[in-house]
Amino acid sequence: MLKLLGSLCILAAGGMAWMDRRRTFRQTLETLTELLAALEEMEGAIRLERLPMPRLLSRAALHRDGPVGMFFQTVVQTLRRGEDLAPAWRQAAGELSLSERDRSALAELGEKLTGDETRACQGIQLVSRTLTASLENLRKQQPEREKRGAALWFSGAALLIILLI
């Protein structure tokens, strides 16, 4: 009976670990999607509304939630403390749970946002292309990654159960 209970606990732990990895991967996809939408809105507001950057960032912070909302809130709070946009943007970008390549591309955008309208929009477009490529790549990998993850966690759990019994 004790072995059966232990086996069920091991199987449940494998399932929970698999679900956690799956949730983390989906959060990354959602973060990239939300970030791309926010950058697209920023570019439109820069071109059409000609909003000053602090107001634009405050608006983005109010209309976004989750990791992307926290990103913009961090930038806005840092700006309110009197710091410059580029370091605030770089620091906030480093806190996002994205790949190193995506974080560095996003961090570099902070330098371009301090320039004129054309430079800011070009920077946003460049980062958007990088993030879009990453998002498409992750979406292509998703089915295979989920299958491999399930196989790994459940076969590991099954091996432990066999060893336990």
Q: Rounded to an integer, what distance in angstroms lies between the CA atom of residue 126 and that of residue 132?
A: 10
Q: What is the pLDDT of residue 51?
A: 77
142: exposed, middle or buried (Cβ count in 10 Å: 0-12, 13-18, 19+): middle
Q: Which residue has the tokens 């066999």?
A: 162
User: Which residues, given as ranges, of the chain have pLDDT below 50?
Assistant: none
Q: What is the pLDDT of residue 40?
A: 92
Three-class SS state of 82: coil
Q: Which residue has the tokens 């790994």?
A: 152
Residues 6+ apart with CB under 8 A from 83: none
pLDDT digits (tens, 9 = 90+) for 64-107: 888 899 999 999 999 899 889 889 899 998 888 888 999 899 88
φ/ψ of 54, rounded to 5, equals -60, -40
Q: What is the pLDDT of residue 133?
A: 93
